[in-house]
Chains A and B, each alone.
Chain A
Amino acid sequence: GNSVTQMEGPVTLSEEAFLTINCTYTATGYPSLFWYVQYPGEGLQLLLKATKADDKGSNKGFEATYRKETTSFHLEKGSVQVSDSAVYFCALTYSSNTGKLIFGQGTTLQVKP
């Protein structure tokens, strides 16, 4: 079946450090890939997306590239801020069905000043 696997957290970084959160997926066909973010006390928000192989999604300094050959969609940011502290979820969906999302288990990021 379709699934998403993320690296275990929590990830603790100092401000301005480089961030990578790994995400790999198992799916038939060609899913669309997403990163959602959940800030403390808030609802899930779409951070970025990529809809086909080799697409790069980017937003707020975060980037992720859809790698079909390695079935990966790793999230990166060159210099994290304290305000980036949140839980990050990798997810996939198919455009040919209902659009339901399949999520990974989430990775908590803590950025210390």
Chain B
Amino acid sequence: DTGVSQDPRHKITKRGQNVTFRCDPISEHNRLYWYRQTLGQGPEFLTYFQNEAQLEKSRLLSDRFSAERPKGSFSTLEIQRTEQGDSAMYLCASSPPWREANYEQYFGPGTRLTVT
């Protein structure tokens, strides 16, 4: 098991373009999270999947953002009509099925998005 992987690691795009990021969680982890981290700040929660169901979305996730997790395995995060304010590190994390005292999230290396 190689941990959570994210692709691409870096993305530079022009304002107005659409971008899509992929996250591959640790196998058998049914919980998956997306966070956004801007420079000098802590990560902020964007959305949560349990298996293939998207159970929570942050108010940060505007209509231009959409996330999917078909078949409860990998997940994608798409940003349409990118804006300069979307420039950030996008982090994915996964966790095993919920059990008592089982809170750890395993983070991927992130995708750094730069919108020019």
CB distance from B58 to the nearest CB of A (A): 8
Q: Which of B43, B48, B109 contacts A98 (CB 8 A)?
A: B48
Measured in the bound complex, the distance between the Cα atoms of B95 and A102 in whole Å is 16
How many pairs of A and B residues are in contact by the CB < 8 Å rule?
61
Q: Which of B33, B42, B103, B107 contacts A104 (CB 8 A)?
A: B42
Q: Assess whether A91 is interfacial by the CB under 8 Å rule.
A: yes
Q: Mark B72-116, 1 if CB is under 8 A from A, else 0.
A: 000000000000000000010101001011011101111000000
Q: Assess whether B45 is interfacial by the CB under 8 Å rule.
A: yes
Using known A-B contacts A44-B43, A105-B40, A106-B40, determine if residue A99 contacts B107 with beta carbons closer than 8 Å: no
Using known A-B contacts A43-B110, A98-B48, determine if residue A103 contacts B43 with beta carbons closer than 8 Å: yes
Query: Chain A: residues with CB nearer than 8 A to chain B?
Result: 4, 32, 34, 36, 42-46, 49, 51, 89, 91, 93, 95, 97-106
Query: Chain B: residues with CB nearer than 8 A to chain A?
Result: 4, 31, 33, 35, 40-45, 48, 50, 55-56, 91, 93, 95, 98, 100-101, 103-105, 107-110
